[in-house]
Structure 1
Amino acid sequence: MTVTDRTRDSASPPGRRGTGRRLPLVLAACCLGQFMNVLDASVVNVALPVIADDLHFDEHNLQLVNNAYTVVVCGFLLLGGRLADLFGQRRVLLFGVGLFTLASVVGGAADAPVTLVLARAFQGLGAAVMAPATLTVLGTTFTEPAARARAFGWWSAVSGAAGAIGVLAGGVIIQWFSWRWIFLVNAPIGLVLFATVRWVVPETRPRRTGTGSGLDLPGALTVTLGLMASVYGVAESHVYGWGSARVLGPLLSGLALLAAFLVIQARFAKNPLVPLGVFRNRSVAAANLVAFFGIAALFSTFYFFTLVLQQVLHYSPLRTGLSYLPLSLGIALGGWGVASLVPRAGPRPILLGGLALSGTALFWLSALHAGSTYTGDVLVPATLLGLGMGAVLNATTNAATAGLPAHQAGLASGLLNTTRQLGSAVGLVTLAALSAARIDARAAEGAARTDTLASGYGLALTGAGILAVAGLVAALFVPVRKQSSSPRGDTEKVAA
C-alpha cells in the first residue's frame, strides 16, 4: 500500500489545484499539534511535587506519571508514523488529536494515582499518532524546497521551544492555579486544533499495489513491545539500578523483540513496517543518529537546568520559568533563521555549526555554582544553546526526510520522532545516574549541600555537552545536499 502525493482539496501546495490559500493554516495546525505534544511532556515535571501531595503518590510510584507517557509514546511512534502512510494523514491526525485531548481531560479530573497514570499512557498513545502525522502533513503538502524548509523550520522551532516554554507555563499554572490545569488547558486547544485539521489539512488517499495492502502486524507487534520494554527498563534503572532484575528483564526482553522485528522486516514481511532499505539513504541514517544525540543533550538540559535554577540558585518556580525565556526564544529564532539557508547550503553545515554552538553553551552552563548570577553566567549561554539547538532541530528534520518518496513520508517521520524520544529517555536516565553518583560522593566528603548539588548537576550538563559533540561527529556523515529551486522539489544535488 502506498500513499499518493496528490491531495484532493483546496489546501494543496502552490501550483496544484486550489493553490495554497490555506497553507498557513495547515502549517499552524501542524505546529500547534506538535506544541501540545512537547509542552505536555515538559510542563508535568514542574507539577510533580504538587501532584504527589494531592493524589498521595508514594516516592517510587511518582515516576510513573512521566514513564507511562514516555514508554507508550516511544513504543507506538514508529507504528503511528506508518499509519499516516497507510490510512491517510488527516484521518490519523484527527484520531491522535481526539485521543490526546480526551486523555488530557481524564488526567485533569483524576482523583487517584492509577487514573492519572492511565490517562498519561493514553496521552502518550495520542501523541505517538499525532507527532509523526504533523510532520507527514508538512512533508507531503509543502513540496517546493524553500517552502518546505520554512515549514520544517517553524515545526522544529515550535518543537524545541515548547519544551522550554513548558517550564514557564508549569510555574505560572502551579503558582496561580491548580496542577489540574496543566492537563485541562489541552481541552480548548484540542477542540480548536481538531476543527482546524478537519477544515484545512489535505487528505491523502492510499492506493493498492500488486504487493498487497495489509499492515505488517507481526512487525508492528514486535517493534512496539520491544521499544516499550526497552524504554521501561531504562526508565526504571535510576530507581533499582542497572543490575536489578526489574531493569535487566525488560531490557533483555526488549532487545530480543527488536531483534525479532529486524528478522521479520528482512525476511518475512510482505509489506514491512520499516523497509530496511530506507537506511541505505545516508541522509536518513545519519540524521537519525544526530537526532538521538542532539535531543538527548537538549531535553536532559531542560531537567538539570531547572534543578540548577531552583536548588543551586534558589529561584522560585515562576522565576525559573521566566529564566527559560531566552532559551525558548533562541530555539524559535534559530529554527526559523536557518530555514532559508538549508535549501541552499544543505543541512550538514547547519548541523555542524548548531551542534558546535550548543556544545560550547552546555560546557559553559556546567560551571554554574551558588554564586553565579543570571545576567553574568546564565543569560548568554542559555541564548546560545537555544540558537544552536533551534538550527539543529530544523536541519535534522530536513535531512531525515530528504530523498524519500511521498509514500514513505510517514515512515521517515515516525523514525525521526522515535529516535528523538529514545534519545531524551536514554540521555536523561544516563546523565541522572552520573549526577546522582557525583552528588553521593561529594556528600560523603562532607561538602556543603548547595556545592554538592552544583557539582552533580554540573557533571550532568558536561555530559550533555559531550552528547552534543557526539552529535557533531554524526553530522559529518550527513551528505552535502543542495536542493534545487524546482517548484516540485524533485531534484537534489548530492555530494559526499
Structure 2
Amino acid sequence: MSSRPTPTPWPSSRAARVARARPPPTHATPSPPAAAADPAPTFTPVRPRPDGGPVAASRCLRAHHCAPHLLGAAWIPMWYFLNLYLQQVLGYGAFASGAALLPMTVLLMIFMTAITARLMGRFGAKPLIAGGLLLLAAGLLWLSAVEPTGTFLVDVLPASLVAALGMSLAYIPAMMAAMSGAPQEQAGLASGIVNTTYNVGSALGLAALTAVAMSQGAGEPAKLPALTDGFSSAFVGAAVIAAVGGVITLLLMRGDKAAAQAQAAPASHGEQVGV
C-alpha cells in the first residue's frame, strides 16, 4: 500500500466565486429599534395657575410687602444714628447711650404686648400700619431738629418716644397682615418672605442713609455742627421713607373686609366642588 497522504479537495469554481462575493462576518451590535432610541428633548411651556401656584405668594401678600420693607428701612437707621448722636455729639458712653434708649424699649414692650393687638381687633391692620408709619415719620422729623448743644430730655426723649409709638403700632399689624394674606399652605413661604423683606429693607435703608449722612458732614467727627447736620439729614431721610410707606399703605393695601372676602372665596369654592 502507498503511504502518500490524500490530497485536500479544492472547491469548485462556482463555490469559490460565491465565497469571494459574500461579505465577511461582523460582530457589531445591531442598532436598537427606533422606539427604544432616546427621544429628542422637548420643552413644554408651563402656564401659571390662576391661584398663583403652590409656592407663589398671593396678590394680597405681595401688596403688603412694602410696609415691612419701608418700616425696616426707616426704623433701624434711626437707632443707629441716634446712638451716634448720643455718643459723638452729647458725649455719652456706650452704657449711658444704651440706657438712654430704654424708654423706647419699654414703650415698645407695653404697646406690642398689651395694646396693639386690641387696637388691631377693633380697627383692623390697615389704619394701624398707615398711622404707625406716619407717626414714626413725625418722630423722625422731630429728631432731625437735634443740635450740637442739645440735651437728652429736650432733643431726644420726646421725639424718640413718638417714633417708638409709631413703630409699636405698625410692626405687628404689618407682619400679621402679610401673613394673613397668604393661604394656609403658603404660611411658611409667607413668613420667610416677610422676614427677608424686613431685613433687606433695614440693610438697604441703613446703607442709603449712611451715604446721605456722610455727604452732609457726618464724616467730620471733629466738627460737631457738621456731624450733627449729617445725623439730622439721616433722620430726615428716614422720615421720608416712613411717610412714603404710610401713603403706600393707604393707597394700595386692601382693607380687612376685602381680605377676608378674598380668603373666604377659595374655601366656599372648595365646599361646592366637594374638596
TM-score scaled by structure 2?
0.71
**Could you report, residue by residue, the CA deviation over 1:140-163 in whole angstroms, capped at 9, with x for unpaired residues?**
xxxxxxxxxxxxxxxxxxxxxxxx
Which residue of structure 1 lines up, in the alignment, with residue 75 of structure 2? 298
Match for 1:288 among 30, 44, 65?
65
Distance in 2 separating the partners of 1:394 and 1:482: 19
Which residue of structure 1 lines up, in the alignment, with residue 256 of structure 2? 481
Query: 2:178, 2:190 within 8 Å by CA — same for their partners in 1?
Result: yes
Query: 2:137, 2:243 within 8 Å by CA — same for their partners in 1?
Result: yes
**Could you report, residue by residue, the CA deviation over 1:301-332 in whole angstroms, capped at 9, with x for unpaired residues?**
11111101100111011110011011112222
Gaps of 5+ in 2: 1-45, 266-275
Deviation at 1:448, TM superposition (A): 6.3
Query: 2:218, 2:231 within 8 Å by CA — same for their partners in 1?
Result: no
Which residue of structure 2 lines up, in the alignment, with residue 419 of structure 1? 197
Match for 2:238 among 447, 461, 464?
464
1:370–1:399: structure 2 CA closer, same or farther, 3 Å change rule?
A: same
Which residue of structure 2 lines up, in the alignment, with residue 275 of structure 1? 55
Deviation at 1:483, TM superposition (A): 10
Deviation at 1:370, TM superposition (A): 1.8
Query: Is the aligned partner of 1:382 residue 2:157?
Result: no
Query: 1:363, 1:462 within 8 Å by CA — same for their partners in 2?
Result: yes
Gaps of 5+ in 1: 1-265, 485-489
Map 1:48-59 onto structure 2 (within 5 A): none
1:289–1:449: structure 2 CA closer, same or farther, 3 Å change rule?
A: same
Distance in 1 separating the partners of 2:154 and 2:79: 20
Deviation at 1:286, TM superposition (A): 2.6
Map 1:9-408 onto structure 2 (within 5 A): 275-276=55-56, 278-281=57-60, 284-336=61-113, 337-408=115-186
Query: Which residue type is aligned with residue 96 of structure 2?
Result: R
Say which is worse superposed, 400-409 or 350-359, in terms of deviation: 400-409
Query: 1:354, 1:388 within 8 Å by CA — same for their partners in 2?
Result: yes
**Could you report, residue by residue, the CA deviation over 1:467-488 in whole angstroms, capped at 9, with x for unpaired residues?**
101110121122110599xxxx
Q: Secondary structure at 2:256's aligned position in 1?
A: strand
Distance in 2 separating the partners of 1:440 and 1:364: 19
Distance in 2 separating the partners of 1:412 and 1:347: 17
Distance in 2 separating the partners of 1:274 and 1:437: 46
Distance in 2 separating the partners of 1:339 and 1:465: 25
Distance in 1 separating the partners of 2:88 and 2:222: 13
Query: Which residue type is aligned with residue 242 of structure 2?
Result: A
Distance in 2 separating the partners of 1:468 and 1:331: 17
TM-score scaled by structure 1?
0.40
Query: 1:346, 1:482 within 8 Å by CA — same for their partners in 2?
Result: no
1:440–1:376: structure 2 CA closer, same or farther, 3 Å change rule?
A: closer
Deviation at 1:432, TM superposition (A): 0.5
Deviation at 1:273, TM superposition (A): 9.7
Deviation at 1:298, TM superposition (A): 0.3
Distance in 2 separating the partners of 1:344 and 1:285: 24
Deviation at 1:275, TM superposition (A): 3.1
Kindly indicate whether structure 1 or structure 2 has the higher relative contact order, using CA contacts under 8 Å at least 6 residues apart.
Answer: 2
Query: 1:483, 1:491 within 8 Å by CA — same for their partners in 2?
Result: no
Which residue of structure 2 lines up, in the alignment, with residue 245 of structure 1? none
1:374–1:315: structure 2 CA closer, same or farther, 3 Å change rule?
A: same
Deviation at 1:440, TM superposition (A): 6.8
Distance in 2 separating the partners of 1:400 and 1:409: 10
Which residue of structure 1 lines up, in the alignment, with residue 8 of structure 2? none
Deviation at 1:342, TM superposition (A): 1.4
1:372–1:273: structure 2 CA closer, same or farther, 3 Å change rule?
A: farther
Query: 2:218, 2:227 within 8 Å by CA — same for their partners in 1?
Result: no
Query: 1:335, 1:387 within 8 Å by CA — same for their partners in 2?
Result: no
Deviation at 1:334, TM superposition (A): 3.0
Say which is worse superposed, 311-320 or 395-404, in terms of deviation: 395-404
Query: 2:218, 2:229 within 8 Å by CA — same for their partners in 1?
Result: no
Query: Which residue type is aligned with residue 473 of structure 1?
Result: V
Which residue of structure 1 lines up, in the alignment, with residue 223 of structure 2? 449
Distance in 2 separating the partners of 1:419 and 1:273: 21
**Could you report, residue by residue, the CA deviation over 1:217-261 in whole angstroms, capped at 9, with x for unpaired residues?**
xxxxxxxxxxxxxxxxxxxxxxxxxxxxxxxxxxxxxxxxxxxxx
Distance in 2 separating the partners of 1:342 and 1:491: 20
1:267–1:451: structure 2 CA closer, same or farther, 3 Å change rule?
A: farther
Deviation at 1:397, TM superposition (A): 1.2
- What CA RMSD, in Å, does the superposition of the two structures yield over aligned residues? 2.8
Query: Which residue type is aligned with residue 455 of structure 1?
Result: D
**How many residues end up aligned between the 2 structures?**
214
Distance in 1 separating the partners of 2:181 and 2:131: 23
Query: 2:55, 2:186 within 8 Å by CA — same for their partners in 1?
Result: no
Distance in 2 separating the partners of 1:475 and 1:367: 27
